Amino acid sequence: MLYSQTFSGGYLSISIHFISKQIISVCWDMIAYIIKTRDYTFTLMKKFSYLLIALFVSAIIVSCQKDDAINPNDKNTVTLEFDNRVGDQKLVLGTTTAKNALNEDFTVTRLNYFVSNISLKNENGEIVKFTDKYFLVKHSDPTSWLIKLDNVPAGNYNQVSYIIGVDSLKSVSDVSQRKGVLDPASYGDDNMYWSWNSGYIFFKMEGKSTAIPPNMMNTTEYQYHVGGFGGMTGKTPNNLKTITLPMTTTAQVRANTAPQIHIINDIQKVFSGVNQISIAKTYMVHAAEAGIPIGQNYAKSFIVDHVHNEKD
């Protein structure tokens, strides 16, 4: 009866059916052998041990098949965790000290960036998009490091994609349609909006460096404010950056499994991802044109480090 048993859900594969039939075959062979040899003690114990092992392995495989089965009607949450680092160091604002590729020291006192237009691609090539969802990652606010995506269909996802910035359609929409993290009035003294060109600051990084030469402002701080979606009243460079990251371990969404995708943002690459940025020469960036090299750099600063698939 083992090979004809029906499990709820109907997810047994052909391979499991084949294994079960082989176990039955082994049982008949054992009985025939025992009758033939009349060795009822040693042979029976030895062969019965083999049977128990085979049954145990088969049960494990069947259980795994059932657990891994994808029910297209199931949904769960996927969480993106943004882990900002400086090389192999955890980023602590105002404390973590590092050097760029040009041997210029720096600390980071402020780090913010917008994440939008997130999508997940599964192993079948199907893409799940999360439109009209905008998030502001602020390193000073640990709650913003976790982005939750609700109602994700069950499946095995091997790629995540998102934009650093706020797309042009939302940027030019009426202010009444820009709430939450997109409300320009919500930023206080940590402004993320350029009123002079009606656009958001997609990426903001500020800090200190001894590499900054004496200047008329008498400052030792660098400020990198990168924006520009193409412009509304005037044309500007487009610094929207689409980040597409493969996952070596799939994010396995199931009714009882809500994966967490751990993304590392190595801000050391802001200085060298594509272009070598000298803090001594470039320490004030407040325009879209000047932000092009920096935007190209941080587009290379993100990787998926690992995926958690623990069950609920």
In percent, the amount of the chain with pLDDT more than 90 equals: 66
Q: Average the pLDDT over each of 38-52, 172-186, 195-209, 259-273 and give the range with the smallest value.
A: 38-52
77-97: average pLDDT? 97
Task: Please give the structure tokens belonging to residue 129.
Answer: 């998009």
Say if CB 240 and CB 115 are below 8 A apart.
no
Task: Please give the structure tokens belonging to residue 299.
Answer: 């587009």
Please report the pLDDT score of residue 151 as a whole number: 96
75-96: average pLDDT? 97
276-281: average pLDDT? 97
Give Cα 61 distance to the centre of its chain: 30
Task: Please give the structure tokens belonging to residue 214.
Answer: 């004496």
89-109: average pLDDT? 97
- Looking at the predicted structure, is the pLDDT value of residue 257 above 90? yes
pLDDT in tens, 4-59: 333 334 333 434 444 445 555 554 465 555 455 555 455 545 555 555 555 554 54
42 to each of 34, 80, 115, 266, how far by Cα in Å?
Answer: 10, 58, 68, 64
Which strand (E) or helix (H) includes residue 2? Answer: none
- Looking at the predicted structure, is the pLDDT value of residue 68 above 80? no
284: β partners: 223
Q: Average the pLDDT over each of 21-25, 108-112, 193-197, 211-215 and give the range with the smallest value.
A: 21-25
In this structure, are strands 199-208 and 146-153 parallel, antiparallel, or unpaired? unpaired
pLDDT in tens, 124-174: 999 999 999 999 999 999 999 999 999 999 999 999 999 999 999 999 888
- Looking at the predicted structure, is the pLDDT value of residue 303 above 70? yes
Residue in 166, 160, 232 with CA at minimum distance from that of residue 200: 166
- Looking at the predicted structure, is the pLDDT value of residue 199 above 70? yes
- Specify the DSSP class assigned to residue 288: T
Cα–Cα distance for residue pair 276/294, rounded to 1 Å: 9
Please report the pLDDT score of residue 196 as a whole number: 75
pTM for the full model? 0.79
Task: Please give the structure tokens belonging to residue 241.
Answer: 């950056």
Q: Where are the domains of the chain?
A: 2-68, 75-308
- Specify the DSSP class assigned to residue 145: G
